[in-house]
Amino acid sequence: MEACPISLGCDPHHSHLDGCFALPACRSLKDQFKNANLLIPKHAFTGDPNQASWVSDFHHVAPYAKIDQHQHKLYLRARRDMVKTHSGGGFGATVSSTRWSKFGTFSAKLKSGSTGPGIVTAFLLSNPAMGEEISFELTGKDPKKVVTNYYRRIPGNNLDPLHSSAATRSRLESHEETQALKKDSTQHEITYKLEWNEHHIKWFVDGKLIRTVLAKDTSDGLPTNPMQLQVTIWDAGHVRETMAWAGGMTQYGEDNLIEYVATVDAIEISCKDTKEGQKPWPGPEATRRLKKAQADAAASAKRSWKMNKGKHGAYGYEHEEGFFARLKRFFEWSVLTLIKWSCLLLSLIFGAAYFIEPKSTSVRVSSSSSSKNLGSRTE
């Protein structure tokens, strides 16, 4: 299987059904980052969740996410030395889980990298395709405060539902709150925990519950789509809509030597459904469909071979040649044949002239000698 952005899943409305595999299901884990091979660039991810636990989403742009297996930490950096955005800001890093969760408990022990205005460090659950998320966000505005939020996609109306996605037929609603922390998030490692199910979302900091949202108390319910777990650091200080929220414009220094580093000590995932993630991926049904698609492709190639009598083309078996194609090929053959015979004829002519030339010279010499002899006799 070729590398693909399987992390965003497959849209059955715009994809061949045989190409749509189920998203890799949640599997409980506790990662203390002792193995650097568990994080790979997203462009190298084949879609198989057994390949790695984490992907670095923007590694091909800037390799700012790294596991240090000696320090047992995951490092995420925001810098402006390699990449400068259109807004003039720097570039950060996002690490996403290769498995998707629908309900469970999720925690991360981390130290924020938001040591200056404009930088945001976040621990969240996210569905990028739908725009839904449940998050902790730590901004450079105040390291002793944390922003808790969830985005819920609300179904809406669209005049042409057959030619639009679910995202364009709906709207996102944010439910943001800010809570105080007892410690400076940039100086201390703090454990952030999310508890998410169909009935509620709860946010915990160092084991203390700081916020609860009950589904029964909301007008449109809670997010229910599968989510990836993510940790990220990004520059919000060069975007007009988020600059004030994040504390102001981000500073990198005259030589772009200033960097912002978030460190993650451990991540723990406890899935609500502990059985689904233990099943082989992509599963027997998807494997059956894949084998059927491969068999159909082989049968189609065989039929094409018979129809075209085994004529090979540049990309497999080509169709029967038409009249003009045959005429063109005949014309090309005729011209090449004419050139070939013309060259051969010229070669014969010049060859004959070469062998005849010496004899002609000797005759002229003889005639000259004869004239002299005749002249002498006359005298």
pLDDT 10s digits, 34-50: 999 999 999 999 888 99
pLDDT for residue 288? 75
Q: What does the domain layout of the chain look like in residue ranges? A: 6-281, 287-317, 323-379
Q: E strands along 236-309, which residues? A: 260-271
Question: Model-level pTM greater than 0.85?
Answer: no
What is the per-residue pLDDT across 226-273, written as a single tens digit (0 to 9) for each?
A: 999 999 999 999 999 999 999 999 999 989 999 999 999 999 999 999
The CATH fold of domain 6-281: Jelly Rolls (2.60.120)
Rg (CA), the chain: 37
pLDDT for residue 157? 56
Strand pairing report for 93-97 and 104-111: unpaired
- pLDDT tens string, the chain, 379 residues long: the values are 333 333 344 555 544 545 567 789 999 999 999 999 999 999 999 888 999 999 999 998 999 999 999 999 999 999 998 887 888 899 999 999 999 999 999 999 999 999 999 999 999 999 998 999 999 999 999 999 999 999 999 887 554 444 445 555 678 999 999 999 999 999 999 999 999 999 999 999 999 999 999 999 998 899 999 999 999 999 999 999 999 999 999 999 989 999 999 999 999 999 999 888 888 887 777 677 767 777 887 888 777 766 665 454 443 444 455 666 777 788 888 888 889 888 888 888 877 777 676 544 444 444 344 333 333 333 3
pLDDT for residue 168? 53
